[in-house]
Amino acid sequence: MPNKIPVGIVGATGTVGQRFIQLLEGHPWFEVSWLAASDRSAGKSYAEAATWRLATPIPQRVADTQVRSAAPDKDTPRLIFAALDATAAKEIEPLFAEAGCAVVSNSSAFRMAPDVPLVIPEVNGDHTELIKTQSWYKKNGGFMVTNPNCSAIGLVMALAPLHRRFRVEKVFVATMQAVSGAGYPGVPSLDIVGNVIPYIANEEQKMEAESCKLLGTISDGTVAPADLKLSAHCNRVAVEDGHTESVSMKLGKVAHAEEIIATWEEFRCFAQKLNLPTAPEQPVIYERAADRPQPRLDRDRGRGMSAVVGRLRPCNIFDWKFTVLSHNTIRGAAGAAILNGELLKAQGYLD
């Protein structure tokens, strides 16, 4: 595969790292050539180091690859996908940007930094401009780009096309989030079998802040967050994959149900036009059955990259209510980052 772009994965052994490996297998542009994880894993083969929890086997080539320490070395490729927890990311990711890497991060550590783009290609692909304001970039071409929290991404995909046309002013959202969002070992089974946990640390704050940045506008190298009020209630439920969210929204303009649905169904962007390999054909799918979307049935739509919306109906307080679902470890994590990597390639930032 002489023409593929070599990529590295930092945090390769965790839940999101595993999804990176699964989704990059057979990728038409990228090829995994470098894997790093914690010092505990360094030196082992990937198969030994990872407690692989996905339903497809580890690709053989990856299984035999030796895991390295989480620091740039002479073999580190330019493009790095980072799947670290926030504490580790804070320390480790800058080392790679410093070393000239293009760091595409799934962590929350730098998402709200003023010069770091927080990007969903379908929503605000132009925010990558912020890269040019990063001191690393100016120095040696290294930079950092992030994707949003797994609970924010489905919501924002559903809101973005409506915001452009009808202006979204206020949003209530209550989430029912899958256990894979907490990583591995993550949520103890005693806490979730036959149960609900009405709390996920810092999640509500992340959803509220990230949504405004994602829907904001960029000019002169600064992102002005959207003037949108969002109130989030985050809950954990006994679902493997797929975050379901109950949403009420107030719009700035009158919108009829069929207009809203058409706006979702027709929503496309340059990710689709450019045929980015991981971009879903239809970013937002509307399901008309009364009891959809459901995580078990709808999380894999668009190969896990579409947000699925349903139950649009009037709200007693705001204008409209609906339910949105997205796959939290594909669209909400590894898939989001890979699509960001593809966007960067298409925009020339990897040249």
Residue 63 makes contact with its own copies by CB under 8 A: no
Sequence-distant (6+) residues with CB within 8 A of 91 are none
Please give, one letter per residue, the 3-state secondary structure of 46-99. HHHHCCCCCCCCCCHHHHCCECEECCCCCCCCCEEEECCCHHHHHHHHHHHHHC
C-beta pairs of 108-113 under 8 Å, 24+ apart in sequence: 108/149, 108/202, 108/206, 109/84, 110/144, 110/146, 111/146, 111/148, 111/149, 111/206, 111/210, 111/213, 112/209, 112/210, 112/213
Out of 58, 239, 269, 305, the only residue in the binding site for its own copies (CB under 8 A) is: 239
- Tell me the site size for its own copies, rule CB under 8 A: 63
Which residues between 12 and 41 bind its own copies (CB under 8 A)? 15
- Applying the rule CB under 8 A, the residues between 86 and 115 that interact with its own copies are none
Q: Which structure tokens are listed for 116?
A: 């770091």
Candidate segments 172-180, 263-271, 276-284, 336-344, binder of its own copies by CB under 8 A: 172-180
Kindly state the helix (H) or strand (E) to which residue 340 belongs, with its residue range.
helix 335-346
Cα separation of 319 and 324, whole Å? 16
- Which neighbouring-strand residues pair with 218? 223
Q: Compute and round to an integer the Cα radius of gyration of the chain.
A: 19
Closest approach of its own copies to the CB of residue 102, in Å = 30
* Closest CB 244 distance from its own copies, rounded Å: 5
Nearer to its own copies (CB atom), residue 199 or residue 217: 199
- Residue 215 binds its own copies, judged by CB under 8 A: no
Q: Is 310 in the site for its own copies (CB under 8 A)?
A: yes
Q: Which two tokens stand for residue 310?
A: 């349903």
Q: How far is the CB of 286 from its own copies (least distance, A)?
A: 13
Stretch that binds its own copies, among 59-67, 147-155, 259-267, 317-325 (CB under 8 A): 317-325
Stretch that binds its own copies, among 133-141, 190-198, 264-272, 339-347 (CB under 8 A): 190-198
Site for its own copies in 275-294 (CB under 8 A): 290-294
150 is written with which tokens? Answer: 């797994």
Interface with its own copies (CB under 8 A) = 15, 53-57, 170, 172, 174, 176, 179-180, 182, 184-199, 201, 208, 229-231, 233, 235, 237-240, 244, 246, 248, 290-301, 310-311, 315-318, 321, 323
> Which residues are catalytically annotated?
150, 243
